[in-house]
């Protein structure tokens, strides 16, 4: 399967998606130190939301590229 083409002009947006994933990982690690199960769960939910947002952003970028360069 061919890799989707990404325009270098979109690198800032990809960087944003990567930053969201890094932040999600931080929340997961931070959750492990929570003493209260409610805080642990809230941090994991935050991590999941950040990952979902990163996935949506990346998918939108790929869809935009496909629309511009239908090969």
What would the DSSP string read from start to end of 5-49? P--GGGHHHHHHHHHHHHHHHHHHHHHTT-SSHHHHHHHHHHHHH
Q: Let me know if residue 6 belongs to a domain.
A: no
For the stretch 34-54, what's the b/e string if a residue is b when 16 or more beta carbons lie within 10 angstroms of its beta carbon?
eeeeeeeeebbebbeebbebb
* pTM score of the predicted model: 0.71
Total domain count, the chain: 1
Whether residue 4 lies inside any domain: the answer is no
Which residues form the domain of 32? Answer: 16-65
* pLDDT value for 3: 40
Kindly state whether residue 30 falls inside one of the protein's structural domains: yes
**pLDDT string in tens for the chain (71-residue length):** 334 444 445 556 667 888 889 999 999 998 989 889 999 999 999 999 999 999 998 888 888 777 766 65
* 17 token code pair: 């998606």
Residue 10 is predicted with a pLDDT of 53
């Amino acid at each position: 399967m061919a890799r989707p083409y990404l325009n270098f002009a979109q690198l800032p947006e990809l960087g944003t998606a990567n930053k969201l994933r890094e932040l999600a990982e931080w929340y997961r690690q931070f959750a492990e130190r929570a003493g209260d199960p409610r805080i642990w769960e809230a941090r994991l939910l935050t991590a999941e939301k950040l990952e979902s947002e990163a996935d949506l952003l990346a998918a939108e970028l790929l869809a935009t590229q496909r629309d511009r360069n239908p090969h």
